[in-house]
């Protein structure tokens, strides 16, 4: 009959609440230049920007339509 050996050694972790934790020093971005983007990244970001603009315009139209302002313009 095979014997199983238990090699479990529990580790202890100290949990510190974020409000009681010592603030850490933040990294500085001074001296960093612009990030180089490839053509696919630039196209993707442009498409995303266009999508967000269109969705914002649609939301604005919907809000104005619900408010009854668009009905007056028709």
Whether residue 63 is contained in a domain is answered as yes
**Into how many domains does the chain fold?**
1
- End-to-end CA gap in the chain: 86
pTM: 0.54
Calpha distance 60→58 (Å, rounded): 5
Would you say 70 and 61 are in contact if contact means Cβ atoms under 8 Å apart? yes
pLDDT, tens only, 14-26: 888 888 888 888 8
Domain that residue 43 falls in: 37-74
Whether residue 69 is contained in a domain is answered as yes
pLDDT, tens only, 32-61: 888 889 999 999 999 999 999 999 999 999
CA distances from 38 to 29, 44, 53 (A): 22, 10, 23
Whether residue 65 is contained in a domain is answered as yes
Whether residue 24 is contained in a domain is answered as no
* Exposed / middle / buried, residue 64 (Cβ in 10 Å: 0-12, 13-18, 19+): middle
Would you say 64 and 70 are in contact if contact means Cβ atoms under 8 Å apart? yes
Whether residue 62 is contained in a domain is answered as yes
């Amino acid at each position: 009959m095979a014997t199983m050996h238990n090699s479990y050694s529990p580790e202890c972790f100290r949990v510190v609440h974020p409000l009681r934790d010592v603030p850490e020093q933040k990294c500085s971005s001074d001296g960093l230049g612009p990030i180089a983007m490839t053509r696919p990244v630039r196209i993707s970001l442009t498409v995303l920007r266009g999508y967000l603009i269109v969705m914002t315009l649609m939301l604005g139209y919907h809000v104005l339509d619900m408010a009854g302002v668009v009905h007056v313009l028709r």
